[in-house]
Structure 1
Amino acid sequence: MMQIDNFHKLPNATNEYEQKVIDFCNNWLRGQNEFVIKTSGSTGEPKPIVLSRFQMEASAKLTGKTFKLSEGDTALVCLNVEYIAGMMMLVRGMVLGLKLIITEPSSKPLEGLDIQNIDFAAFVPLQLQTLLEDLRNVEKLNQMKAIIVGGAAVNEVLENQIQQLSVPIFSTYGMTETVSHIAVRRLNGENKNKNFSVLEGVEIGLDNRNCLNIKADASNNELIQTNDIVEMIGEKEFKIIGRFDNIINSGGVKIQLEKVEKLIEKEVQSLEIKRFFTYGIPDERLGQKLILVVEKAFLEQNKIDSFLKKIVSILSKYEIPKEVLLMDKFIETPTGKVDKRATVEHILKK
């Protein structure tokens, strides 16, 4: 664990990860104007993107304004600092005058920490879900001003768990190209919302596929086209339907994978698992075959059969997974997202 209270007196690194933190901070403090950042790789091969200091400062200031962060507040940095989510926590610290507590990414980010003085934190869903399995963490989390959750969708089980927290929790929407989040969705409290609301100064629209495009200071005021299919709710809100590249064609029928996952979410929990996803694999007869992949080392066949019987009434016959694959631990990207392609390839090779 590393603590930075004053960026003009950076502590000495005690390991390789902390040295990466110090190197980035030094480059920023020297006035470096461009930074090369890799995308997370969750939707394709990781690729390098050049971001300007102006873009990163604009994003940091917008986050500070949105979540009412003040100079001297303390933020927890528990996401990988080599990628945009963790890196922007460092930038927020330097731009907004925050104190930082930095830990290497893990599923238990509060372990061994004195939580008393933390005001702001960013987690991936699995981290928050793991924290909420220990009721002792509820009081610790409630001492914060705000918590943001990003990097993957928040499932219904986690959203229900979040209701026990009084601290405002927000699901975020963004990507490397938009320099972290450009929209948020409140997950608990009186202002809980099913839709994402764009942050101040962000403009959004749709292409002919109904995929979202974005323009903001953080995008250098250039139009960023996404592959996320959304439903627009007025000019400033939207609901995510799924990714355009997550539509498979099975026997001539187009299937949106996120729609299937949402419909079966409750029933999947009967299998006592934390994570799952649907995927399309090549099939001689159908072209692509829909499968369900669950994070579990072993499942009795009768439980799988019972689950498949239950979802028959929820899904159309084309949306029912043709196979259930198991893996004790999913392969993840360096940012903690599930690497679906690598996970499926590993299972099929076995």
Structure 2
Amino acid sequence: MASDVRAVVSTGKGAPVEVATIRVPDPGPGEVVVRVQACGVCHTDLHYREGGISDDYPFLLGHEAAGVVESVGDGVTHVEAGDFVVLNWRAVCGQCRACKRGRPQYCFDTHNAAQPMTLTDGTPLEPALGIGAFAEKTLVHSVQCTKVDPQARPAVVGLLGCGVMAGIGAAVNTGGVGPGDTIAVIGCGGVGNGSIAGAAMAGARRIIAVDKDPKKLDWAQQFGATHTVDASARDTVEAVRELTDGFGADIVVDAVGVPETYQQAFYARDLAGTLVLVGVPTPEMRLELPLLDVFGRGGALKSSWYGDCLPERDFPMLTELYRQGRLPLEKFVSEEITLDQVEQAFDRMHRGEVLRSVVML
């Protein structure tokens, strides 16, 4: 029987979000209903509200979530009722050209639930990143559910569902940071500090945090930054070079995603160094670089989608590292809030006052 639950809905571009009653259908073949326990407030949700993703309103927001499987549809063997899961938006299909070439982290045909969730009048909702977890319950495809240690705090491990995983993966999976490497991270919000935490976990020798906000630089040190650069007072490229014996960093992560920071990241690399773009640009942004510099500096210019993660591999591993005290995921949780406080959380996030607000259900 379908469930009527409370959820956060975005009804129009720039309009404040609303808490509404939505209808969650019983799971069909391959689908799962999850009782959501916690969901982080991510910039991507704000992009949806602002029309930066599409104009398919109304949106059911929320996607950085953990919860318990309540019911499963026909053919589901991956999870069962009672399993504690983190939701993911890269539900690997196993059949597309990327998967068949052994590169499932680039899966081009990820799974989502086939049935829509709706308003009570039948209006279909577009769930954020195919999840829609600012809700007491949500309907997802079974492979969007990744089982993790049930002893872990939902508010903490749910953040692996998007931003924190994107940051850790940008440094570790995409950038390949390892013992002895130097890395600079430009932009020290949730994603950037994820990269810093990942680099510290991987044994990087020097971790340089770059931001204009002193509060964010303080946060970065809590996650393992060995040096900080105030970009409002210093030239980023010169500062990174000074801190890397004049050479530049082995890896530079751009967690902002604007042309200015991308150019800084490009020139702050060592020769043959790696640039990783994980900050999300907007459609109108354009980049200009001398092609000779692209050729002459060598190395790799990479984009990181979801930290190039494989949820089935990475979520349980990172949860275990958190449980062992080796990955300080709990430090990302700035506050715990209710569904009714999401609009205010967007404001605090936009002002840079929090790393993550987490909705508790």
Q: Is TM (by shorter chain) over 0.5? A: no
- Greater RCO (CA < 8 Å, at least 6 residues apart): 2
TM-score normalised by L of structure 2:
0.29
